Amino acid sequence: MKRTPVIEMKGISKRFPGVIANDKISFRVYPGEIHALLGENGAGKSTLMSILAGLYRPDNGIIKVQGRAVKLDSPRKALEAGIGMIYQHFRLVDNFTVAENIVLGAPKSPSKINREQMETETRRVSQSYGLTINPGARVHQLSLGEQQRVEIIKMLYRGCEVLIMDEPTTVLTPGEVKELFEILRAMSRQGKSIVLITHKLNEVMEIADYVTVLRRGRVVGEDRIENLDEGRLTRMMVAREVAYSQVKRDKSVGQVVLSVDRLKVQGDLGYLAVKQASFDLRQGEIMAIAGVAGNGQKELVEALVGIRSSVSGTVEYQGEEINHLNVRERISLGINMVPEDRIGTGLVPNLSIIDNSILRNYYKEEFFTGFFLNYKKVRRYTEGIVDKYNVYFSDLKHPVNYLSGGNLQKLLLGREIEQKPRVLLASYPVRGLDVAAAEDIYGLLLKERDKGTAILLVLEDLEDIFRIADRVAVMYQGSISGILEVNKTSIDEIGSLMVGAQLTGVENG
């Protein structure tokens, strides 16, 4: 028997300035199915589902709900079609009570607000799925896990047949994850469909019936869960073809510059995000930190540059312990960083290219005439950077948020390289960039490596690792599960370390 899918998306494309977030994507969900939408960060998962939820308008493509073509040009239309999405950042009114949030905007709620009735309704819906919540509490008093419950109840109250959840487990404790999965199973038994956006393989294996994998805006694979295992999923997620090491090197690596020993770092949620990290970083090498996002990479890098303090363990720079140094002191030693979000942390969106290019060293004498910044000198400096690093722009005075992602990254990386760092840390330096821009960034990094800089890159795409790194340290659940020479390893080996396999005969340093 051939069933009609509840949701069918065909040929969906969506561009944002500088990126194609979705490129002719087709996607189907059947009734009662728990469908995992898997892919690394920036793959286009949230965009695709925001289109289904009526938040974004696709540039192309059609959407069918229960076999009928629909135009979902607002969240209201999507809700009317039975599609509800729970976004990664919850969309709740903090100052409202739980019950108010639940009835808010629902067509069936009565015109006159009756607190008691509202709270009874809330209790009725929540209890039918075994969700406990205090309807009278204000949302800002709730934990993130509870807020998520409010979001779920909100969608159930509206009678959604398809529930989309964007990375729901990132804010949950392991216990809460279990609970959530129970609820999702209960919903699926009642015939509701669930789309679970995630990049965590173990979750997919645990709960999904069907998986669609996105990579760089395209569907790179889909199948029923029975036909898949973690290894195959990893490969789909991070690389299409089997990659091989392309790093050619003439010089050998030099001295150890940065030495990390048994570092423990606390995460935002209160437990240890980095449980155990030890490695040495040498002059003239690129070491990649691989791992599925959220396994402690972010916290590790933040601890190395001094944004986050460590709980225990040591970081040594050229033999000297630097644990107590702050960010600026570390910068002056030559430890520079290219942050994950180019715009915001890396560059100031509304300042011009000129201003952004000297943010790091605007106080240097070379830019001044007496008391004042000399814009002629500054401009010449900026022109030097954009020239040397191939930044395409229309006007140096325009705010940087007019630049495309690739040019932003070149400007940012160029600015940092001009500081002549001894250690360069970069998180996801090619995330969201097109192939040409990514090539340019690789080129810059390799050149910098050959000059003798020690480079640590947080990467998630295995292809990137094989393309550029000399060594790779794989992180899993806060620990480094193995450090490997890139040209002596394989995608499968890294992939299995990424999902928690143990390495036999751990090589260290």
In total, the chain counts a number of residues equal to 509
406 binds ligand ADP (CB under 6 A): no
Q: Is 21 in the site for ligand ADP (CB under 6 A)?
A: yes
Residue 14 beta carbon to other proteins: minimum distance, rounded to whole angstroms: 10
Closest to 454 measured CA to CA, from 334, 340, 360 = 334
Query: What's the half-sphere exposure (Cβ side, CA atoms, 13 Å) at 239?
Result: 20
Round to whole Å and give the CA distance between 271 and 291. 19
Considering only 10, 16, 368, 503, the residue that binds ligand ADP (CB under 6 A) is 16
97 binds Mg ion (CB under 5 A): no
Smallest separation (angstroms) from ligand ADP to the CB of 42: 4
Q: Is 95 in the site for other proteins (CB under 8 A)?
A: yes
Q: Judged by CB under 6 A, does residue 54 bind ligand ADP?
A: no
Query: Positive or negative CA dihedral for 444, 448, 449, 455?
Result: negative
- The pair of structure tokens assigned to 213 is 């994998």
Rounded Cα gap, residues 263 and 496, in angstroms: 23
In angstroms, what is the minimal distance from the CB of 399 to ligand ADP? 15
Q: Which of 6, 49, 103, 125 binds other proteins (CB under 8 A)?
A: 103
Of the residues 6, 7, 19, 300, which one makes contact with ligand ADP according to CB under 6 A: 19
Q: Total residues at the site for ligand ADP (CB under 6 A)?
A: 12
Q: CA separation (Å) from 493 to 122, 228, 458, 474, 497?
A: 49, 17, 18, 10, 6
* Per-residue b or e along 71-80, where b marks 16 or more CB atoms closer than 10 Å to that residue's CB: ebeebeebbe
Work out whether 15 is an interface residue with other proteins (CB under 8 A).
Answer: no
Question: Within a 10 A sphere around the Cβ of 264, how many other Cβ atoms?
Answer: 17
**Residue from 94, 206, 320, 366 in contact with other proteins (CB under 8 A):** 94
Q: Does 44 bind ligand ADP (CB under 6 A)?
A: yes
| Interface with other proteins, residue 258, by CB under 8 A | no
Least distance (Å) between residue 432 CB and ligand ADP: 3
In the window 22-81, what residues touch Mg ion (CB under 5 A)?
Answer: 46
**Residue 47 lies near ligand ADP (rule: CB under 6 A):** yes
User: Does the protein bind ligand ADP through residue 39 (CB under 6 A)?
Assistant: yes
Q: β-pairing, 368-369 with 454-458?
A: unpaired
- Shortest approach of other proteins to residue 266 CB, angstroms? 27
Q: CB under 5 to 8 A by kind: which of ligand ADP, other proteins, Mg ion, none does 111 bind?
A: other proteins
Judged by beta carbon, residue 96 or residue 393, the one nearer other proteins is 96
CA distances to 20, 52, 88, 221 from 27, rounded to whole Å, are: 17, 10, 20, 11
Residue 105 contacts other proteins per CB under 8 A: yes
- Of 91 and 380, nearer to other proteins (C-beta) is 91
| Residue 188 interacting with Mg ion (CB under 5 A) | no
Interface with ligand ADP, residue 432, by CB under 6 A: yes
Q: Residue 466's closest CA among 432, 433, 503, 493?
A: 493
Q: How many CA atoms lie within 13 A of 495 on its CB side?
A: 20
Residues in CB range of 28: below 8 A, 6 or more apart:
5, 7, 8, 9
Which of ligand ADP, other proteins, Mg ion, none interacts with 129 (beta carbon under 5 to 8 A by kind)? none
Q: What amino acid is encoded at 183 in this protein?
A: I
Residue among 12, 23, 38, 42 that touches ligand ADP (CB under 6 A) = 42
Pairing of strands 256-266, 272-282: antiparallel
> Which lies closer to Mg ion via its Cβ, residue 219 or residue 472?
219
DSSP-assigned letters across all residues of 266-324? E-TTSSEEEEEEEEEEETT-EEEEESSTTSSHHHHHHHHHTSS-EEEEEEEETTEE-TT
**169 near Mg ion (CB under 5 A):** no
150 binds other proteins (CB under 8 A): no
Using the minimum distance from each CB to other proteins, give the nearer residue, 14 or 415.
14
Query: Minimum Å distance from CB 109 to other proteins?
Result: 6
Q: Give the Cα separation of 357 and 396 in Å (integer).
A: 10
| Strand bridging mode 193-198 / 162-166 | parallel
The footprint of other proteins (CB under 8 A) covers 53, 55-57, 74-76, 79-80, 85, 87, 89, 91-96, 100-101, 103-107, 109-113, 138, 140, 154, 158
Interface with ligand ADP by CB under 6 A: which residues? 16, 19, 21, 39, 41-47, 432
